[in-house]
Amino acid sequence: MPKPKLYKTIFQVKYRGTLSFYDRLMTAAQKLGDYEHWQTNRLEVRLSDFEKHCSYAIAFNSFSYEQDSNDAEQEREHIARALEVLPPCLGIESFLRVGIRRIYLRAVDMTFQSLVTVLGAKFLSQNQRLRETLPGQVEDLLYRVDVEDGTNSYHFTIGPVKKEEIANHLVYNQENHLAPEEKEVAYVKIREGYPDVSVFMDIDCFRAGERLTLNDAMDFVEVGRERLGEQVHKLDQYIFTKSVEK
C-alpha cells in the first residue's frame, strides 16, 4: 500500500521587529550561505536554491524556510541552520510564534467518488437522522479541525482531491523554487506527476507565546517534526482501516 508522501514544508518564526533589523539584514542573509539566486527590496531578502526546490525569506517581523520536496533530512538541516544563524545575527532575543506546516498526498487506487465515500464514513457522523437530513449523496467533503494539546496547537485540513485540483490546494512556489528559464516546462512535469486521486493532508503545528526563547523554538522543531510524522501515520491508519465507529 502507498504511504502519505511529503510534498511541501513551511517553517516560520514570528517576532517583534526593531529598527536595528535593517542594519543587520544583509549580514544575516550572507551568513546563511552562498546563494547564487537571491532578491531583495531592502526591506526583506529571499534566498533561493532551484536545484533543491527551497528558499529562505527574512523579513522585519519574521523569517521562514520553505521547500517543495519530500526531503525530510534537507528540511531538518535547513531549519536548524535558520535557527542557528538568524536570531543572533538579527538581534532577536525572543519569539511570538514558531510553526511548521507540512502538506502530504496519499495516493489511492480507487475512484474519486469511492474515496469520498471512505472519507465520509470516517469523518462525517453516521447518525441516521443526519444522513436523512442531507438532500442526496455526498459528492465531496473537507474536514477541518483545530486542536490543542496544552503546549502546541494544530490546524488539520483533510480531504479527497483529483489530480487537476491538487495545484489549487498544494501551491508550488514556482517563483522561488524553479529556475526562470525552465519554470513553465518544469512545473508542467511536476503537475503531471501528481496522483490521479489522493487524500490531501495539510497539518500546521505551532507554538505561540509572548516570549518564546531560542531553546523553546529548537525544542518545538524537534518535537513538532516528530509529531507531524506521527499524526500523518495515525490518520492514514485510521482512514484505511475497515472498521467504522458509530
- Asked which of 65-69, 91-95, 103-107, 129-133 is least confident by mean pLDDT, the reply is 129-133
pLDDT tens sequence across 96-137: 999 999 999 999 999 999 999 999 999 988 878 777 787 878
Provide the domain limits for residue 76.
5-239
Q: What is the pLDDT of residue 245?
A: 54
Q: What is the dihedral of CA 102, 204, 12, 66, to 10 degrees?
A: 20
Asked if residue 223 has pLDDT above 70, the reply is yes
In a domain, 87, yes or no: yes
Overall number of domains in the chain: 1
Counting Cα atoms < 13 Å in the Cβ hemisphere of 73 gives: 0
Percentage of residues in the chain having pLDDT higher than 70: 98
With a CB cutoff of 8 Å and minimum separation 6, the contacts of 119 are 141, 143, 158, 159, 160, 199, 239
Rounded Cα distance between 210 and 177, Å, is: 33
In a domain, 245, yes or no: no
206-234 burial, b if ≥16 CB within 10 A, otherwise e?
A: bbeeeebebebbeebbeebbebbbebbee
In a domain, 94, yes or no: yes
In a domain, 246, yes or no: no
CB-CB contact of 214 with 83 (8 Å): yes
What average pLDDT does the structure give for the chain?
94
14-32 burial, b if ≥16 CB within 10 A, otherwise e?
A: bbeeeeebeebbeebbeeb
In a domain, 244, yes or no: no
